[in-house]
Amino acid sequence: MTMPDDSLLSIEGLTVSYGAVEAVRGIDLTVRRGEIVTLLGANGAGKSSTLNALVGLAPRKAKRMVFAGTDLTGLPPETIVRRGMTLVPEGRRVFSSLTVEENLMLGGAKHAARGNPAQVKADMLERFPILAERLHQKAGSLSGGEQQMLAIGRALMSSPDLLLLDEPSLGLAPQVVDRIFDLIGNLRDRGLTILLVEQNVAQSLEIADRGYVLANGRVELQGSAEALRSSPEIQDAYLGA
Amino acid sequence: MDIFLQQLLNALSLGGTYALLALGLAVVFSIIGLINFAHGELMTVTGYAVCFALIWGLPFPLAVIAGLAVAMTAAFLMERVAFRPVRGASGTTLLLTSFAVSAILRVLFQNLISARPIPVAIPASLSGVVTIGPLHLGMIQLISIIVTLAMLLGLNLFLHRTMAGRAMRAAAEDFAVLRLMGLRANSVVATAFAISGLLAGVAGVLWVAQRGSVDPLMGALPVLKAFIAAIIGGLGSLSGAVAGGFLLGFIEVILQAYLPESLLPYRDAFAILLVIAVLLFRPQGLLARKTLVKL
Ligand SMILES: Nc1ncnc2c1ncn2[C@@H]1O[C@H](COP(=O)(O)OP(=O)(O)OP(=O)(O)O)[C@@H](O)[C@H]1O
Ligand SMILES: [Mg+2]
């Protein structure tokens, strides 16, 4: 089904266990260059565990775990991020006592080798004028939507090839959610590959190329976004048709 | 009024030393959730280093530099050998580990050096008294106030103006996310220990300079005080540690000055009562800050 050479991320048999709790039970997952792939599922399905495991923040085992030709097995988060895959974690988690500018600086701190940090920062501030206005404000004083922009901006400072987004629309007002989804589409158009975890199923399937549905730590459904949108399971469970 | 001003300077000098020590505890706690009870032994080791450097004939300033270098190295090694293997373990495990490190070091000092105080040859120029108007201030006290303020200023600049400093502040908030910035967890923790070692070293030099001797338990009492100070300020908050240190210094000096003679032996008990009072009103400490310790 998938040509092995155009896959940027390829995972087989990923499991995540926290002590006795098995949050992810052997999933296969592929993300190809230039795609938006969305990972859907109910609360507790194992979506965050999967993303955290990919960047090395959750305890993981896998038969195969390859990103851009690098075997991820045993690599710590800092090394994985330096190879070009980064995560915008659930709940944004900006450094709230640091200024907006300092958050962005830390995002780009170790990535001079991957691009020109000054240029990346200039692009970023052009993309997020609101952050340019608030450069010297504490990140904790921003609104939820602004913090989400900052969290994404901070991750982009490392010029990643693959961006993992964990529920970027969580707790935001509908207009703000629209702006976040627009942004995600724009990023893809500029060549970034995205793995998107969302509860907002309708909007995610609209911008995604493909999707996976997790239930109890297993892949329950997968396919193109169109196929998922029209599948009876998704219609019943998420789109309320 | 002059007497009051005099006491204020005494309090600044004592409180400053507590503040430096409390800050050293807080820097480490804020990042890895460890209360390092072996922090006092870093002071002691500094004292011995200065003492032996002087015996070997190094001039005093070089002996101080040697002492600080030894303190930073000892802190660094402590992390590497004892604390890194238990990083991320429960608070109790961390606490017991630090008690063990402290106990082992004390026994080593007693058996390899001496159980009794060793005199340290502090230059006579440091034992003078400076008279500013009506105030008489010990040279060492004056130096200790100046050094404390310089250290606080320096640390503040480091934390706000350098990338390593920003990384430390970020790590105190959310260590896991800091790693997502591509910054190595191990180097951030090592930096925190080196800084805490430097702070303990400076406090150790000031302490030895005032007492003129060093013994295996030298660090125990001041670090207990610093621990109380850090709690008053709100564990994990750096500005809280400084505030708590100065506050405790003031309380002790005021009690020393104004308690009736018969109650003086209970000075520390009164100081702790006041601390309890502070905590009754602000259980999180004066300048508490939510700390997120996740790896
Ligand atoms: N650090 C942890 N320790 C123990 N159990 C955990 C931990 N993190 C997650 N879990 C458990 O693993 C399971 C999957 O959680 P996960 O956060 O991956 O789900 P999710 O799909 O992201 O859910 P949500 O939509 O609520 O974010 C849940 O049962 C959760 O309680
Ligand atoms: Mg989640």
Please give the full DSSP string across B200-242, using - where no structure is assigned: HHHHHHHHHHHH-EE-TTTTHHHHHHHHHHHHHH-TT-HHHHH
| pLDDT grade for A210, boundaries at 50, 70 and 90 | very high
Look at B170 and A115; give whichever has higher pLDDT. Answer: B170
CA distance A227 to chain B (A): 34
**ipTM for the complex?**
0.90
User: Could you report the per-residue pLDDT of A24-42, keeping only the tens digit for each?
Assistant: 999 999 999 999 999 999 8
Q: Percent of chain B beyond pLDDT 90? A: 64
pLDDT tens digits along A2-11: 445 579 999 9
Q: What is the Å distance from ligand 1's center to A84 Cα? A: 25
Domain A4-92+161-239, CATH: 3.40.50.300
Backbone torsion region of residue A93, taken as left when φ is above 0, otherwise alpha when ψ lies between -120 and 50, otherwise beta? left
Residue type for position A164: L
Residue A173 CA to its chain's centroid (Å): 20
* Half-sphere exposure for B54 (CA within 13 Å, toward CB): 21
Tell me, in angstroms, the distance from the centre of ligand 1 to residue A66's CA. 24
Where is pLDDT greater, at A114 or A225?
A225
Domain ranges of chain A: 4-92+161-239
pLDDT at res. B289: 56
Q: Is the Cβ–Cβ distance between B21 and B203 less than 8 Å?
A: yes
Q: Which of A46-50, A237-241, B101-105, B237-241 has the lowest mean pLDDT?
A: A237-241
Contact (Cβ atoms closer than 8 angstroms) between residue B169 and residue B184: no
3-state secondary structure of A41: strand
Q: What percent of chain B lies above the pLDDT cut of 70? A: 97
Reported as a pLDDT band with limits 50, 70 and 90, residue A115 is: low
Contact criterion met (CB < 8 Å) for B177 and A76: no
pLDDT tens-digit readout, B192-229:
999 999 999 999 999 999 999 999 999 999 999 999 99
Label residue B295 by pLDDT band (50, 70, 90): very low
Q: Exposed, middle or buried by CB within 10 Å (0-12, 13-18, 19+), for A66?
A: middle
Q: Do A98 and B169 touch (CB under 8 A)?
A: yes
Can you tell me the distance from the alpha carbon of B7 to that of A237, in angstroms, rounded to the nearest whole number? Answer: 73
Amino acid identity of A31? V
Give the model's pLDDT for residue B294: 41
The pLDDT score that the predictor gives to residue A152 is 96
CA-based radius of gyration for chain B: 19
Q: Could you please report the per-residue DSSP string of A47-73?
A: HHHHHHHHTTSS-EE-SEEEETTEE-T
Question: Cα of A45 to ligand 1 centre, how many Å?
Answer: 7
C-alpha span between A213 and A224 (Å, rounded): 11
With a cut of 60, say whether residue B161 has pLDDT above it: yes
Q: How confident is the model at residue B292 (pLDDT cuts 50, 70, 90)?
A: very low
Which of A48, A52, A88 maximizes ligand 1 atoms within 8 Å of its Cβ, making it the mutation to test the pocket?
Answer: A48
pLDDT band at B55 (very low <50, low <70, confident <90, very high): very high
Of B255, B240, B143, B167, which is closest to residue A102 (Cα–Cα)?
B167
Average pLDDT over residues B80-107: 93
- Ranges of each domain in chain B: 2-125+148-281
Q: Which residues of B touch A154 (CB under 8 A)?
A: 181
A178-209 pLDDT, tens digit per residue, is: 999 999 999 999 999 999 999 999 999 999 99
| A1 — pLDDT class (breaks 50, 70, 90) | very low
* Residue in this structure with the two tokens 């909007």, named with its chain if needed: A203
Whether B242 and B233 have beta carbons less than 8 Å apart is answered as: yes
* Cα–Cα distance measured from residue B30 to residue B191, given in angstroms and rounded to the nearest whole number: 13
Pocket of ligand 1 from Cβ distances under 6 Å: A 18, 21, 23, 41, 43-49, 90
B2-125+148-281 topology per CATH = ABC transporter involved in vitamin B12 uptake, BtuC (1.10.3470)
B93: number of Cβ within 10 Å: 12
